[in-house]
Chain A
Amino acid sequence: MATSTSAKKHLATTLLVPELRRKHYAQTVADSKAGKKVAWCSNNIPSEILEAMDITSVYLENYATVCASKRLSSAFCRAGERAGFSQDVCGYARILMGYLLGGDDLPEAPYGGPAKPDILIVNSYSCDSRMGWFTTMARTLDLPLYVLDSPYQPGGGCTDPDNIVYTESQLRGLIAFLEEYTETSFDPTRLRQRLELAAKANDIQVEIYQMRKHVPSPMGAGDAYTAVWPGMYLTGSEECDRFYEQLRAEMRERIENGIGIVPEEKLRLMWSGLPFWYNMSLMNYFEEKGGVVAIENAFFRQLRSLPQQDEDPVRDMALRSTMRRGYAGGIGERIDLTVEVAREYSIDGVILSYNPSCRLFYILQPALKNALDRAGIPTLALECDMADERTYSEGQVKTRLDAFMERLLARRQGDRREIRPS
């Protein structure tokens, strides 16, 4: 499996990301050497708070995707398994535990390895696997761990005052923890500055996501999974805002000039779940036959603008987090959102990525399939891990993709039930 596995990028702005990412990781290492405190974080830990307190953050799940994209997942997962972690455990966790506990025979880690941590911060927002993972790391590395808990939030945004009070107390607890363990102090003004920049970037991303409804699609998942990176990991910075301004400008130009991903767009697909980070070229696989992966459902934060709710920045964050649609509301909300998106983006077929080691997404897919069946939208199941490349079999995956394309193209040619509401 030595051939190139990155997605081909159709947008120039997206090509900037690898260098932004390399620089960012290099900066975290430089920060550590300069005496700044480093926090190892799970996704959705608010970096705005950390950055406002001069604490450097390293997001481990992202680091694991970098390992996977550089074709290192086999070695690190194997090391993780040798250290005692089951193959059923999150691929990201196995990669990092393999990195931490593996021996001298491990290949060199990307960017020379993540910057050494002083503290660990995990949240319960996305899944429970990461809770076990970070607790294990805290014990293994003998480092302080803060668990940021997010309450269950039923039904599309939640205004339950108890949830808001609880979320705010969790954030204030994080700040107190940071002040204690990193000997820094919290300045609400600095946080407010970062939140304003982050909100601006978020709103531009919302616009960009709306633009992706356009036919022909100006940006597909091949670019999107990379273009989402600055918003997740550079949030609250001028650099991040500049990136999305540039991306938006490029999108506008493409739409004005009718530039799509393929010359003749025959099929629009959605990718549900995480992609296979070790083979992103699959996002381009359909392009030869006029198919585009027009949208993905993994990162829904960008679908909604979250205006300022309160003067106090911490309370503001608590209020806005309860407005988010995404993982906190249970499966029903995520399914409804996905079906809604499939209709709005004129989707012909949905690829269901059953990542064996990611329950957050795996759990969703069968029920989502039923909902899409009822909506008359064809689906295809692919069973490969998002991080562990040993689960991927080229022939098997391509047979399924080819068959799905055959099915969808034949459907277009023949008598076809109208699947989109008028």
Chain B
Amino acid sequence: MDIGSASSKALILEKGEVVEHAILPTGAESASSAERVMEMALRQAGLELDDISYIVSTGYGRVIVPFADEEITELSCHARGAHRLFPEARTVLDMGGQDCKAIRCDAQGRLGDFAMNDKCAAGTGRFLELMADVLQIPLNEIGPLSLEATDEVRISNTCAVFAKSEVAALVRQGRDRAEILAGLHQAIATRVHALLRKVNVEPEFVIAGGIGKNPGVVRRVEAKVGLRALLPPEPQITGALGAALFAADRVAEGAERRRREPIA
């Protein structure tokens, strides 16, 4: 289980292989989001909750998953999950809905140094949603459109709140939207690069999280880092994959289900 601030993910592993996964937006109630996304994954797999041997929860809402046996932070889970998908991975950039993480891992997929930006929206899905809204362009089109620009409007504000009014003003001035998007994506890439530098990027470099689907961000981050980025086919479930792998470890160690009480 990966209960993020924007989306909740459930992933079922059997004999080391991914059987099913499900993704739902996290509403106001993290606990019920966890239940619903788990139900969805189980239904898709034709399983019951009792069929599951061990459940590890991760993400922002990890402490309130009612049926989890253990909690492990998303830092460890992303390292593990990315490493499983790409055994040569040593640096993982997770760009989530509301935070951004630079993570190092070793050859065994164990967590190394990490740096987090969870204090501001720049470099997160939320920032891009906001910008797509101001520009009146669907979220899945802003990345490709940003790559079509031949020039770039420099956005001076890295703060999402101020960038919003800056962008609105640029639109009113009739500036080309592709060029505005190019500037926005560049601002994100700059911010994210600063975060990555704190952990000393080593190849292979993986970009996980929803923003991994945005080629405008991916290409620009690659250019700044100087490395090609490996992209999971399903970038949002890397954390849940890592959590499931840890759960499998526990089963192999003979751990019993604990079904801990949720935090009131």
Contacts and interface: CB of A to CB of B under 8 A. Distances in A.
Contacts of A378: 112-113
A393 B75 CA distance: 18
Interface in B52-101: 60, 71-76
B164 interface: no
A410 B110 contact: yes
A381 B115 contact: yes
B116 A395 contact: no
A414 interface: yes
Interface string B99-124: 00000000010111111101100000
Interface in A379-422: 379, 381, 383, 393, 395-396, 399-400, 402-403, 406-407, 410-411, 414
Contacts, number: 44
A371 to B, nearest CB: 14
Contacts of B114: 403, 407
A14 B111 CA distance: 37
Interface residues of B, number: 19
A399 B111 contact: no
A383 B118 CA distance: 11
A406 B119 contact: no
Nearest to A402: B73
A137 B230 CA distance: 57
A407 B111 contact: yes
Nearest to A415: B108
Contacts of B119: 383, 396
A410 B116 contact: no
Contacts of A379: 113
A379 B112 CA distance: 10
B111 A410 contact: yes
Contacts of A407: 75-76, 110-112, 114
A393 B116 CA distance: 13
B55 to A, nearest CB: 17
B111 A406 contact: yes
Contact of B73 (A381, A383, A406, A414): A406
Contacts of A396: 116, 118-119
Interface string B186-221: 000000000000101000000000000000000000
Contacts of B71: 402
Contacts of A395: 60
Most chain B CB inside 10 Å of its own CB: which residue of A379, A396, A399: A399
Nearest to B108: A414
A406 B75 contact: yes
A366 to B, nearest CB: 9
A88 to B, nearest CB: 15
Contacts of A399: 60, 73-75, 116
A281 B74 CA distance: 24
A400 B60 CA distance: 11
Contacts of B108: 414
Interface string B25-44: 00000000000000000000
Contacts of A393: 118
A399 B112 CA distance: 15
Nearest to A406: B76
Nearest to A405: B73
Nearest to A366: B198
Contacts of B74: 399, 403
Contacts of B198: 381
Given A378-B113, A410-B111, A403 B60 contact: no
A403 B110 contact: no
A408 to B, nearest CB: 9
A411 B200 CA distance: 19
A410 B83 CA distance: 15
Nearest to B119: A383
A403 B118 contact: no
Nearest to A378: B113
A223 B108 CA distance: 38
A318 to B, nearest CB: 42
Contacts of A373: 113, 200
Contacts of A411: 110
Most buried by B among A379, A396, A410, A414: A410
Interface in A111-165: none
Interface string A368-380: 0000010000110
A373 B75 CA distance: 19
B111 A400 contact: no
A402 B73 CA distance: 7
21 contacts: A378-B112, A381-B115, A383-B119, A393-B118, A395-B60, A396-B119, A399-B60, A399-B73, A399-B74, A399-B116, A403-B74, A403-B76, A406-B73, A406-B75, A406-B111, A407-B76, A407-B111, A407-B114, A410-B110, A411-B110, A414-B110
Given A400-B116, A406-B111, A407-B110, 17 more contacts: A378-B113, A379-B113, A383-B119, A393-B118, A395-B60, A396-B116, A396-B118, A399-B60, A399-B73, A399-B75, A402-B71, A403-B75, A406-B72, A407-B75, A410-B110, A414-B108, A414-B110
Interface of B: 60, 71-76, 108, 110-116, 118-119, 198, 200
8 closest cross-chain pairs (CB), A and B: A403-B75, A403-B73, A407-B111, A406-B76, A410-B110, A402-B73, A396-B118, A399-B73
